[in-house]
A and B are shown apart, each in its own frame.
Chain A
Amino acid sequence: MDAKFDYLLRLGDNALILSQQLCQLCGKGPALEEDMALSNVALDLLGQTRMWLSYAGEIEGRGRDEDRLAFLRDAHDYRNCILVEQPNGSYADTLMRQFLFDSWHYFLMDGLTRSSDERIRDIAAKSLKEITYHLRRSGDLVVRLGDGSDISHARMQAALNELWMYSGEAFIYDDVDHAMVAQGIAPPSEALRQQFLAHVAEVLQEATLAMPSLDAWMQRGGKQGRHSERLGYILAEMQFLQRAYPGAAW
């Protein structure tokens, strides 16, 4: 598989799977404001997905457009990190997953605005504006709930402890990532990780939450297509219509 195609799938799939998960909360948010925020973030991520997967399809050059890539690939062909397929759980889980994702997504996108690939640069610059807003919101809420009541603090800490092992996969580079760094397309891992950790530490400190160990073992495999069982269920729901009625359109 072409490394750039694979890398673009990773970018698109992360945004797509998280968007799909957030969409499941539409109409079920814990408060109206949160409901709207989650749906709007999901919408931004879906728009970003389209830009990444369209480009991926062009690079692959086999006539697959964004819809075919989204609806007609099975779990082992998906390239998202395992973090985004973690369950919505309680609102603390949803929010902490979002904060960890946004923190990484922001610094990655910032790095991609200096990519050697013009199209990637353009998509990243557009996405970065939206992601900045996502990160400001999720970080703000982590502070408010972490430094909130005893119950909200305990739930946020538990969510963080549970999700931490999924926060490192994006920084564990494989051959695809290394090829992208070598071509000047993607930013190197260590600098990105340091930016991520510094921001997360700053927000967690303000939120009175304990930062988990930097040496913790990290889950991995999603980027290479080895996913948790949950991705199959997510795709089953997302892809049902196109699987049952191929080519169906509005």
Chain B
Amino acid sequence: MTAQEARVEQVWAWLGEVPDPEIPVISVVDLGIVRDVRFDGDACVVTITPTYSGCPAMGVIADAVQEALHVHGIEQVRLETRFAPAWTTDWMSESGKAALTGYGIAPPVQQAIDISGLHAGIRRRAAPAVSCPHCNSVHTQLTSEFGSTPCKALYKCLECREPFDYFKCH
């Protein structure tokens, strides 16, 4: 590993400590929105792909990334936004998904299918079986297509009767 590669590796590790502001148990790296880290001279360039176009957390995330790298002594940090390919929950790490469950949010249950050209996503089909993050039962029901943030839907467990958030496949 060259010194440069080691530097980049180190930055990834630091970013792995930056929590998502809405769901603090997962990091921005777990969430899959950090797409690239590189150095341009002394400046560290971090490429971020936003989750939802209107996600109000993006500004906070950008500030948190800058702050984390400043704390570790990197003075020049440049953030770049990349729209394509669009963010998908398929980029979420397995450890991130496990952390979501532990936090009471059911993680995305399937691969976000490529809908281009198929138009399969525009009619409501049988909802995927989502396990309750509290009691593990698959006996659950969709309450609301949208939850507390754009990335989540509301479910309720018919077994333990607890409501819970479900991180939608996207």
Identify the interface centre among A36, A125, A199: most chain B CB within 10 Å of its CB. Answer: A36
> Dominant SS at the B interface?
loop
Choose among A44, A125, A135, A139 the residue that contacts B52 (Cβ–Cβ < 8 A): A44
- Listed residue (A37, A40, A46) with the most chain B CB atoms within 10 angstroms of its CB: A40
Residues on the B chain within 8 Å of A121, using CB: 84
Given the complex of chains A and B, what is the CA–CA distance between A32 and B121 in angstroms? 24
In the complex, which residue of chain B has the Cβ closest to the Cβ of A113?
B116
Residue of B nearest to A119 (CB): B83
Q: Answer whether residue A129 sits at the interface, using C-beta atoms and an 8 A cutoff.
A: yes
Interface: A45 (CB within 8 A): yes
Per the CB 8 Å criterion, the residue count for chain B at the interface is 31
A126 touching B83, Cβ below 8 Å: yes
Interface size on A, as a range, is: 35 or more
Contact B121 A33 (CB under 8 A): no
Which of B64-72, B96-104, B143-151 lies at the interface with chain A? B143-151
Q: What's the Cα separation between A40 and B168 when bound, in Å?
A: 13
- Contacting pair B150 A44 (CB below 8 A): yes
Q: Which residues of B sit under 8 angstroms from A240, Cβ to Cβ?
A: none
- Of the residues A44, A113, A129, A133, contact of B54 by C-beta under 8 Å: A44
Chain A residue numbers with a CB within 8 Å of B87 are 126
In the bound complex, how far is the Cα of B89 from the Cα of A118, in angstroms?
Answer: 23
Q: Give A143's nearest chain B residue, CB to CB.
A: B124
Known: A50-B53, A130-B52. A137 touches B145 (CB 8 A): yes
Known interface pairs A43-B52, A47-B55, A51-B53; A125-B146 also in contact (CB < 8 Å) = no
Q: Which residues of A contact B (CB under 8 A)?
A: 32-33, 36-37, 39-48, 50-51, 106, 110, 113, 121-123, 125-130, 132-133, 135-137, 139-140, 199, 203
Residues in B lying within 8 Å of A, measured CB to CB: 50, 52-56, 83-88, 115-117, 119, 121-124, 143-150, 154, 168, 170
